[in-house]
Amino acid sequence: MVARAQKGYSLFHGSKLKWAQPVMRNLDKKRRAQRADTIGALLRSAVNVSIWTVAIIMVLDAVGINIAPLLASVGIVGIALGFGARELIRDALAGFFITIEDQYGIGDVIEVGDTAGTVQSVGIRITRIIDDRGVIWYIRNGEIAKIGNRSQGTYVGETAPEPAGESALKDGVAAND
């Protein structure tokens, strides 16, 4: 697998196919734009939760409710919920790593299990995709164990000639098996 990736890389970045580099740059720009959309959606979700939390605390304080005991109680409840919310935490961490590792983004065509479609949104907890029949699928990020991304990179067949001596090396390895 690594050898194929290296061959594909060398085809586009080798001296013989310089003409393909502008195409690859355009694909890279499109990919970065998709990733920016995805990260923007995640940041909007996080900011919304933060703003609402601060707003509720400020309203309670303005009404005259002593929030110190309330915050202590919320902390204890938070610990209890933390044990019960392992799935939610798993989904949130998976969503974070999906985005940071650029596994897929908005607009990518992906396969998750037996479902394939175009990514509409990547949230902290859920990825929403639409398949070719128009069905919208909501997939929890923590449940995604294996994913296929049809939009990232393209496989380039072995059209370049093998470097001198490589076929002899392969024959020698095959003979030793």
What are the pLDDT digits (tens) for 3-54?
444 555 554 455 455 555 565 566 667 767 777 777 787 788 888 888 998 8
Element (H, E) at 42: helix 21-63
Residue extents of the structural domains in the chain? 38-152
Q: What length does the chain have? A: 177
Q: Tokens for 62?
A: 């303005």
pLDDT attached to residue 23: 56
Classified by CATH at the fold level, domain 38-152 comes out as: SH3 type barrels. (2.30.30)
- pTM beyond 0.85: the answer is no
Q: Which has more confidence, 174 or 123?
A: 123
Longest CA–CA span in the chain (Å) reads: 84
Task: Indicate if the pLDDT at residue 173 is higher than 80.
Answer: no
The reported pLDDT for the residue numbered 158 is 43
